[in-house]
């Protein structure tokens, strides 16, 4: 099979390395990909939002399967465009990807179908939102832009004044553009966070092994929120008992709710959960694999990913037994100095072999360039250095030992992945 991966980050690299394990995969393309991905797949210079050229490329090259990994092209209907051209594509249609693309949609869905989540109100008028915050007079309180905002549209306001400033920035200064036309103001929840990705064909849902993201930039959960500085799998807080409860109260009800809304979800649905003192609640849905969750979940997948993609597309997922490795995986993200604010690109990297890897770990490239046999930084998150082992401690040791072998000017990474709540 000829497969086309759409995207360019560490998640896409993890998906590509897993697809390459399949005997069915004979040719793999990635658009646009990155330096590390270029060592595993043929890069195609087409942007992720360019539906017209992407469809043309898929047709011209007789692609058998397209995998749409990032949120923006999913929300914009890349899967729909492929299907209209008769090309098989993995990922939700735009009318289902809205579960991530609009927080107003997802919150209203949860309320309508009784799926546990934080209490909230929706506003399209800044003054009304500010009046509400003042009348409630509680903090912390969470302010969320409705639409996609590169993972930055959530503000945990520690005071009422901070919440009011957040409303002004989002709705009046348009910090996230039209994504902030509507906002959600939400109750602040506490408890450990768990990421559960699940395969679903709209009929049945098969959760993958759990994981935990470390979103803050620096050790001890200090600094700004990032796209994710590291992950572990499994998540130690996610017991079998909690998994069962989530299946009954969250996963199945969500799939059924989407069907009832006439928006069947097919692809990978990401449940961002918080294990609150009052039970597990949904913090957010994503319509795709998490990044860097994919980097710890996929290495533990034993079943052929091509088979899973086909079963999802053909709505035959219930027939497939998906197997997982019983051990653990850890991913440490190496980022550019200054990330997530501003950072330089084009810095030469040392310690990687010609394939972009190091001994003892799997190196997923997130933001790199490959030129004349050398790797250079080309993004905020640069690498996801991942190791698997029988236990989480061993996986962490292996991942950190591999990180020590890699260097580039300004590189920073967290030293406490797997250690904090």
Of residues 331-370, those binding ligand AMP (CB under 6 A): none
What x-and-dash track marks residues 234-273 binding ligand GLY by CB under 6 A? ----------------------------------------
What x-and-dash track marks residues 42-71 binding ligand AMP by CB under 6 A? ------------------------------
- Cis? peptide before 234, omega within 30° of 0: yes
Query: Among 64, 186, 213, 304, which residue sits at the site for ligand GLY (rule: CB under 6 A)?
Result: 213
How far apart, in whole angstroms, are the C-alpha atoms of residue 51 and residue 119?
Answer: 37
Query: Among 118, 269, 298, 308, which residue sits at the site for ligand AMP (rule: CB under 6 A)?
Result: 118
Nearest to 383 by CA among 347, 419, 418: 347
Considering the rule CB under 6 A, would residue 33 count as an interface residue with ligand GLY? no
- On the CB side of 72, CA atoms within 13 Å amount to 12
Considering the rule CB under 6 A, would residue 189 count as an interface residue with ligand AMP? yes
Measured from the CB atom, the residue of 62 and 341 that comes closer to ligand AMP is 341
Binding segment for ligand AMP among 80-88, 183-191, 248-256, 343-351 (CB under 6 A)?
183-191
Considering the rule CB under 6 A, would residue 12 count as an interface residue with ligand GLY? no
Considering the rule CB under 6 A, would residue 193 count as an interface residue with ligand AMP? yes
Measured from the CB atom, the residue of 44 and 198 that comes closer to ligand AMP is 198
Of residues 4-23, those binding ligand AMP (CB under 6 A): none
Of residues 132-151, those binding ligand GLY (CB under 6 A): 151
Query: Among 12, 64, 76, 186, which residue sits at the site for ligand AMP (rule: CB under 6 A)?
Result: 186
CA torsion sign, 276 to 282 to 283 to 288?
positive
Q: What angle, 0 to 180 degrees and rounded to 10, lies between the N-to-C axes of helices 126-136 and 160-167?
A: 170
Number of chain residues interacting with ligand GLY (CB under 6 A): 7
CA–CA distance from 160 to each of 17, 156, 183, 332, 392 (Å)?
47, 11, 16, 35, 40
Considering the rule CB under 6 A, would residue 291 count as an interface residue with ligand GLY? yes
Binding segment for ligand GLY among 15-23, 175-183, 284-292, 339-347 (CB under 6 A)?
284-292
Query: Among 101, 133, 283, 329, which residue sits at the site for ligand AMP (rule: CB under 6 A)?
Result: 283
In the list ligand AMP, ligand GLY, none, the entry touching 290 (Cβ below 5 to 8 angstroms by class) is ligand GLY
Measured from the CB atom, the residue of 7 and 357 that comes closer to ligand GLY is 7
Considering the rule CB under 6 A, would residue 367 count as an interface residue with ligand GLY? no
Considering the rule CB under 6 A, would residue 284 count as an interface residue with ligand AMP? yes
- Ranges assigned E (strand) in 102-180: 120-123, 141-145, 154-157
Nearest to 212 by CA among 192, 227, 190: 192
Binding segment for ligand AMP among 57-65, 149-157, 252-260, 346-354 (CB under 6 A)?
149-157
Order of all β-strands in the sheet with 42-43: 42-43, 27-32, 2-7, 65-68, 89-90
Backbone angles phi, psi at 298, to 5 degrees: -65, -40
Binding segment for ligand AMP among 4-12, 58-66, 161-169, 180-188 (CB under 6 A)?
180-188
Q: What angle, 0 to 180 degrees and rounded to 10, lies between the N-to-C axes of helices 252-260 and 103-113?
A: 100
In the list ligand AMP, ligand GLY, none, the entry touching 186 (Cβ below 5 to 8 angstroms by class) is ligand AMP
Binding segment for ligand GLY among 45-53, 285-293, 299-307, 405-413 (CB under 6 A)?
285-293
In the list ligand AMP, ligand GLY, none, the entry touching 5 (Cβ below 5 to 8 angstroms by class) is none
Q: Three-class SS string for 4-68?
A: EEEECCHHHHHHHHHHHCCCCCCEEEEEECCCCHHHCCEECCCCCCCHHHHHHHHHHCCCCEEEE
How far apart, in whole angstroms, are the C-alpha atoms of residue 8 and residue 37?
Answer: 8
Centroid of chain to Cα 46: 21
CA torsion sign, 246 to 249 to 252 to 257?
negative
Nearest to 335 by CA among 417, 251, 243: 417
Q: Give min distance, CB of 272 to ligand AMP, in A.
A: 5
How far apart, in whole angstroms, are the C-alpha atoms of residue 49 and residue 204?
Answer: 30
Considering the rule CB under 6 A, would residue 228 count as an interface residue with ligand GLY? yes
Considering the rule CB under 6 A, would residue 186 count as an interface residue with ligand GLY? no
Considering the rule CB under 6 A, would residue 290 count as an interface residue with ligand GLY? yes
Site residues (CB under 6 A) for ligand AMP? 118, 142, 151, 154, 156, 186-189, 193, 215, 272, 283-284
């Amino acid at each position: 099979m000829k497969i086309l991966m759409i995207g360019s980050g560490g998640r896409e690299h993890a998906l590509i390395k897993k697809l390459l394990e399949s005997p069915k995969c004979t040719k793999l393309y990635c658009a646009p990909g990155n330096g590390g991905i270029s060592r595993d797949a043929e890069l195609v210079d087409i942007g992720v939002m360019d539906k017209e050229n992407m469809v043309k490329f898929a047709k011209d090259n007789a692609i058998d399967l397209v995998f749409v990994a990032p949120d923006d092209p999913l929300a914009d209907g890349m899967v729909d465009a492929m299907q209209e051209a008769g090309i098989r594509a993995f990922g939700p249609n735009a009318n289902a990807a809205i579960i991530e693309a609009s927080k107003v949609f997802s919150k209203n869905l949860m309320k309508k179908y009784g799926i546990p989540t934080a209490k909230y109100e929706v506003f399209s008028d800044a003054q009304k939102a500010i009046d509400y915050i003042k009348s409630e007079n509680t903090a912390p309180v969470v302010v969320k832009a409705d639409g996609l905002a590169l993972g930055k549209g959530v503000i945990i306001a520690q005071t009422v004044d901070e919440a009011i400033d957040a409303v002004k920035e989002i709705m009046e200064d348009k910090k996230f553009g039209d994504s902030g036309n509507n906002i959600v103001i939400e109750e602040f929840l506490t408890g450990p966070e768990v990421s559960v990705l699940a395969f679903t064909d709209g009929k049945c849902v098969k959760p993958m092994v759990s994981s935990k993201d470390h979103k803050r930039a620096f050790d001890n959960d200090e600094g700004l929120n990032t796209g994710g500085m590291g992950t572990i799998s499994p998540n130690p807080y996610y017991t079998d008992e909690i998994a069962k409860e989530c299946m009954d109260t969250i996963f199945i009800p969500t799939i059924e709710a989407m069907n009832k809304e006439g928006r069947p979800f097919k692809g990978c649905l990401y449940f961002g959960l918080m294990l609150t003192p009052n039970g597990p609640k949904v913090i957010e849905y994503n319509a795709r694999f998490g990044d860097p969750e994919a980097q710890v979940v996929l290495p533990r997948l034993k079943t052929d990913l091509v088979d899973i993609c086909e079963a999802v597309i053909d709505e035959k997922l219930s027939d497939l037994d998906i197997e997982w490795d019983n051990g653990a995986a850890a991913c440490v993200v190496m980022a550019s100095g200054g990330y997530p604010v501003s950072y330089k690109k084009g810095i030469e990297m040392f310690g990687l072999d010609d394939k972009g890897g190091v001994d003892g770990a799997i190196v997923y490239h997130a933001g790199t360039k490959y030129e004349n046999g050398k790797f250079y930084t080309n993004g905020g998150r640069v690498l996801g250095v991942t190791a698997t082992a029988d236990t989480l401690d061993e996986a962490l040791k292996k991942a950190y030992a591999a990180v020590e072998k890699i260097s580039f000017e300004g590189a920073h990474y967290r030293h406490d992945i797997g250690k904090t709540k």
